[in-house]
Amino acid sequence: LDISEYSLYQIEMEVIETMASWPKSKHRPEVHGVLGSVLDRNLINEVIKTYAIKTIYHAAAYKHVPMVEHNPAEGIKNNVLGTLRTAQAAAECGVSDFVLISTDKAVRPTNIMGATKLIAEEYLFAVASRSKTRFITVRFGNVLNSAGSVVPTFRRQIEQGGPVTVTDPEMERYFMTIPEAVQLVLQSGAIGAGGDVLILDMGEPVRIVDL
């Protein structure tokens, strides 16, 4: 489910093309792209019931720090209310597992984006004890080459001959690859207990100027 038609089309095609190389099997899963918003609780309820959803990976969030600073109301609405309504629908419809993809910026947040994710985490922690749905939060840092990451920006700036915009030469960040992030999220969903906040070992921090 995605609010962006272009993103939904891209990921649907990517999944279908990947599955085409799999061995023939009667257990081949079906892929259904649903266009809509996590703020639409009626839609979420309908999707869960129609497709008998057992596990939700909730990754819908505005995560670009400066963008959310400039548009705080939309950031709060999407990141906080979107999580709340999706979680409510999951509990109401008997979804067994709900995994929230959070961020290391939720630790003592210094920006609105981090604060919205912390509120979403706290809400899930509050409802976990009184719900049959297992609510789990996975918190990690920057994923290389993911949408909105610094790598595509740096690459574009270098291709154009610079300059490369590094805010502070001493700034450090933790990075992991997309396959690493996906595997760790899936493992977290399998091992976490209700109300857990799982923090991934991101290895050693990397100076942005070295990156």
Run of H or E including 172 = strand 172-173
Q: What is the pLDDT of residues 95-119, one digit of tens each?
A: 999 999 998 888 889 999 999 999 9
pLDDT computed for residue 95 by the predictor: 96
The answer to whether 71 touches 82, Cβ cutoff 8 Å, is no
What share of the chain has pLDDT > 90, as a percent? Answer: 54
pLDDT computed for residue 200 by the predictor: 72
pLDDT computed for residue 170 by the predictor: 82
Run of H or E including 83 = helix 82-92
pLDDT computed for residue 147 by the predictor: 67
- List the catalytic residues: 105
Pairing mode of beta strands 97-103, 55-58: parallel
The answer, yes or no, to whether the previous bond of 163 is cis (omega within 30 of 0) is yes
The answer to whether 140 touches 200, Cβ cutoff 8 Å, is yes
Reading the block at residue 31, the tokens are 């892929």
Backbone angles phi, psi at 206, to 5 degrees: -120, 135
pLDDT computed for residue 199 by the predictor: 78
pTM here? 0.85
The answer to whether 178 touches 144, Cβ cutoff 8 Å, is yes
pLDDT computed for residue 55 by the predictor: 95
Burial 143-164 (b: 16+ CB within 10 A, else e): beeeeebbeeeeeeeeeeeeee
Where do we find the tokens 């994923």? Answer: 143
CA-derived radius of gyration, the chain: 18
> Cα(63)–Cα(103) distance, rounded to whole angstroms?
9
pLDDT computed for residue 57 by the predictor: 95
- pLDDT < 50 stretches in the chain: none
pLDDT computed for residue 166 by the predictor: 83
